[in-house]
A and B are shown apart, each in its own frame.
Chain A
Amino acid sequence: MGILEVTNVNKRFGGLQALSNVNLDVGQGTVHAIIGPNGAGKSTLLNVLVGKLIPDTGTVMFNGASVLGRKPYEINQLGISRVFQTPEIFGDLTVFENMLIPCFAKRDGAFRLHALESIASEAALIELAEHMLREVNMIDKRHMTASSLSRGDKRRLEMAMCLVQEPKLLLLDEPTAGMARADTNNTIDLLNQIHDSREITMVIIEHDMHVVFSLAKRITVLAQGTPLVEDTPENIKGHPKVKEAYLGEAAA
C-alpha cells in the first residue's frame, strides 16, 4: 500500500481524453517520476492530485483519505506541498518574509488572527525560517525582495517554502524547466539532499532525462493520458515501448 493511490482516474476536456484509466501507486519514501511527451497529461494529473481539478471518474487516496473535493489549502494541510512549473512565491515580500509564511501556516493552521503579536517574539519560527534558508544557501539574500531573485533562486526559495512545512508528499512540476545547466545540477543536488535527510515522498514531473535519471527510484511513462509502463530507471532506459513513445522521439 502506497502513500498515494490513484485508481481509475479519467478526465476529459471537451472531446479530448486528457487522462484515461490512470492507476498510480506511489510508495512511501520513494521518488516517483512521471515522464511523457508534451500534452501527455502530466500537469493534468498533478492538478487532480492537488484538488485543482476534479476527475470525471476514479479516486485519489492520500494516506487513506480521499483528496477529491478538498480545497488546495486543505490538501496542503494533509501534508501535500507543490512546486509549480513557474515558481509561485510572494514577489513583493522579502525572502525572509516568504520563508516565515509557511512556518506560520504550519504552526497556526489555515487562519489565525495574530494581529497584535510581534514577529520578533517568535524566536522559534525565526530560527526555523533561517535554518531553512541556510540549508538552501539563501541566508545572505534574506532581505532581498523575492521578485528580484534569479529564476534559479526563486525556484530554490519556493522549494524551501514547501520543505519547511515538512510535507509527507512533495509534488514537483518540471522543477528545472528554464534553468541553466549549473542551476539544474544544483537543484538535483538539493533534491537528493532533501530526500536523504528527510522521509519525504516525491512525485516529480520532468522533461529533462538527466534530471529524471539522477533522482527517480521509480518511473511511470505517460502517453496520451495513459500510463504505458511503470518500472525502475534501469529498466525504463532499455524499454522498447518507452523508446518508441518518448525517448526515441526525444532523441530524434
Chain B
Amino acid sequence: MLGLSKKDTTFLLIVIFLTLATPILLQPFPEGSPLAQFNAGYPDLMQRFAIYGIFAIGFNILFGLTGYLSFGHAAFLGVGSYSVVWMYKLLSYNVLPGLILAIITSALFALLIGYVSLRRSGIYFSILTLAFAQMSFNLAYSVLTPLTNGETGLQVYTDDPQVLMSAGAPTSPHLFGIVMNESTKIDVNGWQFTFSNGYYFCAIIAIVVFYLSLRIFRSPFGIMLRAIKTNQTRMSYTGLNARPYTLAAFVISGMYAGLAGGLLAAMDPLAGAERMQWTASGEVVLMTILGGAGTLMGPVLGAGFIKYFENIFSKINDTILHSWFSALPDGLEDAVVFMLHPFIGKGWNLTLGLLFMLVVIFLPGGLIEGGTRIWNLVTGKSRKTRSIVKDSEHQPKPPVHVN
C-alpha cells in the first residue's frame, strides 16, 4: 500500500493510530488524582510533541542517513516562524499560505547554507552550519529589525494590512475557519480528554511527513545517503557525485525544520529570534541522538521524551519537592530537597545533560536500542543489537585513499 512494503505499511498504521489516539493515551491518570500532574494530554504539550517530532524527523534525514551533523538547523525553524507571522500580517490568519511560504523560504535558506557548508565534512561542516545559524540569529535579533521586529519579536498588530481578512473571520490562527486554539473536552468517569484542533492539525501533518521520510529511507536516494556515510571513496569511484546528494538531504531536512517552525507560529502567532539560537539547534541534535539517530522512530521518541520531561521538571518547584518528601525527618527532607533543587525548574537543562550523557555512554543507539534490548530480554532473542550499536559512529567517513 502507498508504495510501502507490508511491514512498513503495518508500521505506518501503528504510528497513525498512536498519533491520533495521543490525547487519550497520554492522559492515563484521572483528573484530581495526585498523579494527574504527570499527564501529558493537553494541547500545548501535545502540539510541541508533534512539531518537534517533525523537526527531528527532518534532522534525521540529514544526520541519521548521511552522518553530516548540522548545528544550525534552528535557523530554518526561525525562518519558518517568521514566514508564517508575515503571512498573518499581510494576508489573514489562515495558516495555509504561511506554511507554504515557510517551506519555500527555509528551502532557499538551506540551499544557500548547505551549498557553502557542504564543501567541508566532519567537524568543519558542523562549525560552518553553527556559524550560519548564529549569523541568522544576529540578523534577526538586531540587523533586520524591519523584517523581524528584533528583540520584541514579530507579531500581528491591528493596523496590519491583512488584505484577505473578511469581516467575520477568526482573529487567531485558523485553517479555513477551523480555529487552532479551540478544543473539545470530554469527561469520562473522572478522566478528562482534550481534543484540540491545533493538535490534530499538527498531528496530521506529522503523519504525512513521517510517511514521506519512510519513503525516503526506503528509496534509492536513501540508500545513496547511507552509502555516503559509509564510504565516500567507493561512492565517487562508482561514478556518483556525493555533493548534490548531501545538498538535497540538507535542503529536505531544512524544509522539515521550516515547516516545524511555521507550525510553532500556527499554534501561537509569534516569532522571535531566540528560536534561532544555538541552544535550539543543539536541542534537535539531542533529540535525534537520544532517540536513536538513523532509526525511523528514534528521533520522534527523543523529541517526545525531551519535551515531556522538560515540561514535568520545569513545573516541579521546592514546594512540590517538600510535599513529596514530607514523610522524611525534617533535616533529611531539607537536605534531599536541597540536593534535588539544581535539577528542577530552571535547572531542567542540567537533568537533560545528565540524561544525555547516560544514554550516549550506555545506550549509544539511543532509546530505540534500549527498547530493542528490553524486547530481546523479554522474548529471549539473541543479541541482535550489534548493528545498531555500530551505527553510533555518526560521521561520514572522509575519503581515505589507499594506494
Contacts and interface: CB of A to CB of B under 8 A. Distances in A.
Given A90-B230, A116-B216, A111 B245 contact: yes
A110 B231 contact: no
Given A105-B240, A109-B239, A47 B219 contact: no
Interface in A91-148: 91-93, 97, 100-102, 104-106, 108-122, 145
A4 B37 CA distance: 76
Interface stretch (B27-35, B220-228, B271-279): B220-228
Interface in B199-236: 212, 215-216, 218-224, 226-227, 229-231, 233-236
B241 interface: yes
B402 to A, nearest CB: 5
B3 A110 contact: no
A71 interface: yes
B230 A88 contact: no
A85 B403 contact: yes
A119 B223 contact: yes
Scoring B215, B224, B229, B233 by chain A CB atoms within 10 A of each residue's CB, the highest score goes to B224
Nearest to A52: B401
A73 B230 contact: no
B237 interface: yes
Contacts of A161: 234, 238
B226 A100 contact: no
B391 interface: yes
* Most A CB within 10 A of own CB, among B222, B229, B236, B402: B236
Contacts of B239: 73, 76-77, 102, 105-106, 109-110, 165
Contact of A118 (B3, B229, B241, B391): B3
Interface in A60-87: 71-73, 76-77, 81-82, 84-86
A72 B391 contact: no
Task: Report, as a range, how many residues of chain B touch the other chain.
Answer: 35 or more
Contacts of A88: 231, 233-234, 237, 402
A223 interface: no
B390 interface: yes
Contact of B227 (A52, A81, A86, A93): A93
A115 B252 contact: yes
Contacts of A101: 223-224, 227, 235, 238, 240
A50 B237 contact: yes
A72 B236 CA distance: 6
Contacts of B241: 71, 73, 110-111
A118 B215 contact: yes
Interface string B247-270: 010001000000000000000000
Given A93-B227, A104-B223, 17 more contacts: A72-B237, A73-B235, A82-B237, A85-B402, A88-B233, A90-B226, A90-B227, A92-B230, A97-B223, A101-B224, A110-B241, A111-B244, A115-B216, A115-B222, A117-B221, A118-B3, A118-B218
Interface of B: 3-5, 212, 215-216, 218-224, 226-227, 229-231, 233-241, 244-245, 248, 252, 387, 390-391, 401-403
8 contacts: A73-B239, A91-B231, A93-B227, A104-B220, A105-B239, A115-B221, A119-B218, A119-B220
